[in-house]
Amino acid sequence: METLPTPAFPEVIDSTLVGSWKSCRRKCFYEHFLKLAPKGENVHLTAGKAYAVGHETFKLLYYGEGASFERALRHGALNLIRAYGDFTPPDNPASAAAKTWDQVLLAYFGYYDNWDPRRDKIRPAMLPNHEGVITPSVEFNFAVPLDILHPVTGNPLLYAGALDGLCEATFSEKLFVYDDKTTYQMGPTWANQWLLRSQFTGYTWAARQTGYDVDGVIIRGAAIQATQVKFIESICYRSQWQIDEWLETLYFNINEMLLHWEFFNSGQSSFHKDLDSACTSYGGCSFSTTCLNADPAPTLLRDFAIRHWSPIDVESL
């Protein structure tokens, strides 16, 4: 008889886990302690990965190998199409149906129409890769030990992540964290939503912890719609007091997780449901159907599968 996986306290903390924890403790428990995700491919992950592969290919060729703009653009497009594969997005909702391979490809080409690298004010930072070779920063992975121990292994918990790289800007002597965002809607307040976003405060902290003098974050967004693609840029700075405040809050949240974990293992009530805005925000919580049943196990076993994913490979550390 099929049973649910045994819960485990995460060894790696990242911005997604913390965001899930703050929105709903039960959702976080399902996602990151049981490691469950809806069965089937996710259109947003598929489209986002393909979009990223196209840009990585372009940057490695254009900035790293000195390839012509046309050659780099062509190879990036080909790798984007390969990465998207034969996935067919669902008809609904509109935000998912719009992310067909051809619309993602249109967004890729549109990016370089909007930010032509021959005149762009930013470019990837040239940094050593894991083999020590200087190359364009198209992905920046980090894993920083925290001053808090895992409740089972006794090893320091790691704050980790994988971002779209570090970049240089003509208007600053310091580096910036760089991030691409794909979305569906892009209103007048889109650029301002990142000014306080803890994800990017954590990225800035991590980059500084690993020795890079980062001033803030540059985010470039592409709104992929059925008939058009829109672009926008947001430049956000992070002061040291903001980073200190973020770190204090991170430790508070992790200690709260540990308390719930202790309650859970002693049979006390823990990992409570939020049952508020988290159930319906951003298209709704994928676990909301489980909360309609006194016993969520049958729904979890039917609709969800174990997702083996981590922002870093823990065993390689």
Residue 195's pLDDT band, with cuts at 50, 70 and 90, is very high
DSSP states of 88-120 as a string? ---S-SHHHHT--HHHHHHHHHHHHHHS-TTT-
Residue 22 β-bridge partners: none
The closest alpha carbon to 316, from 141, 137, 67, belongs to: 141
Q: How far apart are CA 27 and CA 16, in angstroms?
A: 12
- Is 60 exceeded by the pLDDT of residue 253? yes
The predicted pLDDT at position 312 comes to 61
The predicted pLDDT at position 92 comes to 66
Look up residue 90 and give its amino acid: P
Q: Is 119 exposed, middle or buried (0-12, 13-18, 19+ CB in 10 A)?
A: exposed
Q: Give Cβ neighbours of residue 142 (< 8 Å, ≥ 6 apart).
A: 160, 161, 206, 207, 209, 210
Write out the two tokens for 43: 């259109």
CA torsion, points 131, 218, 84, 101, in degrees to nearest 10? -150
pLDDT tens-digit series, residues 158-178:
999 999 999 999 999 999 999
The predicted pLDDT at position 315 comes to 38
Element (H, E) at 305: strand 304-306
Residue with tokens 């390839």: 67
Averaged pLDDT, 239-261: 98
Element (H, E) at 221: strand 214-224
pTM across the whole model: 0.92
Q: Each residue of 188-215: b (16+ CB within 10 Å) or e?
A: eebbeebeebbbbbbbbbbbbeeebebb
Write out the two tokens for 7: 């819960």
Verify cis geometry, omega within 30 degrees of 0, for the bond prior to 117: no
Look up residue 194 and give its amino acid: W
How many Å from the N-terminal Cα to the C-terminal Cα in the chain? Answer: 36
- Is 90 exceeded by the pLDDT of residue 91? no
For the chain, give the percent of residues with pLDDT over 90: 81
Query: Which letter does DSSP use for residue 5 in this model?
Result: P
- Is 50 exceeded by the pLDDT of residue 317? no
pLDDT tens-digit series, residues 99-133:
899 999 999 999 999 999 999 999 999 999 878 88
pLDDT tens-digit series, residues 274-284:
998 889 887 78
